[in-house]
Amino acid sequence: MYYYYKDINFLTLTLSFFTTLAQPQALPFYNNLSLMYHLAKGLYFHVTSKEEYSVLLLGLDNAGKTTLLEKVKSIYLPNAPPPPKEGGTIPTVGQNVSVIPLTSPTIYLKLWDIGGQSALRSLWKSYFSSAHAIVFVIDSTDVPRIGNEVIEVLKEVVEHEETEGVPVLVLANKQDREESLEIAQLKEVVNPIVVKLGARDSRVLPVSALEGTGVKEAVEWLKTRVMWNKESRPPTMR
């Protein structure tokens, strides 16, 4: 019997509370309650959300962009499958996307591996406005295309109006091969384009996406530069 009356009293108090809220004079209290809820929700989102930066992996076909993405995943994602061996990837038609977490401080890099075939390059510009950094991957063994096609495509990317102010990292890939150009030789070809970037952040680094040499250094450079540039290109929050 005691519990019966207790439940009745609780129900009566609850109905009385909501009846009071329904009265016109309760409107200020209700508004304050709503304001407190939204403030608490905003504070929770601010404390728990992390910055996310989009990075485009561009370059001609067969430059090693997908191999690079898979190597990055194998380093920074504990449950990622081992990266494919040489010749184990297929040309990207469209895009591959992966998000990797970085620490100190905690941020996320969203990596977009976009197909590099000539028929697909016209699609690159649709990604430029949301990019926080661009990685241009060069096959440093493909000497015939480095001197003309690579330079022309890189020039088109860095001179596009929507990439203005975006950090650009040029990676001389496949440095594990004997026939690859040395980094000093490649810089002689690329530097005329890099100079045109003016004050914009840019760097040329040697890597082997297959073996992983230089990959961590490249990721750390990206992390530093996108955070330094976030006033110009604010991150998204997740």
Residues 103 and 133 grouped into a single domain: yes
Residue 120's CB: how many other CB atoms inside 10 A?
A: 16
Distance of CA 226 to the CA centre of its chain: 9
Residues 8 and 63 grouped into a single domain: no
Residues 105 and 192 grouped into a single domain: yes
Give the pairing of strands 202-206 and 236-237: unpaired
Tell whether 60 is in a known binding site. Answer: yes
> CATH number of the domain that 148 lies in?
3.40.50.300
- Cα angle for residues 108, 110, 115 (degrees, 5° grid): 165
Give pLDDT tens digits for 41-65: 555 555 567 999 999 999 999 999 9
pLDDT score recorded for residue 83:
72
Tell whether 66 is in a known binding site. Answer: yes
Give pLDDT tens digits for 132-177: 999 999 999 999 999 899 999 999 999 999 999 899 999 999 999 9
Tell whether 33 is in a known binding site. Answer: no
Tell whether 214 is in a known binding site. Answer: no
CA–CA dist 114, 119 (Å, integer): 12
pTM of the model: 0.79
Residues 39 and 94 grouped into a single domain: no
Tell whether 9 is in a known binding site. Answer: no
Tell whether 212 is in a known binding site. Answer: no
Number of domains in the chain: 2
CB contact set of 121 (below 8 Å; sequence gap of 6+):
153
Q: Residue 217 belongs to what domain range?
A: 51-237
pLDDT score recorded for residue 5:
41
Tell whether 65 is in a known binding site. Answer: yes
**What band does 238 get if pLDDT is binned at 50, 70 and 90?**
confident
CA–CA dist 59, 45 (Å, integer): 37
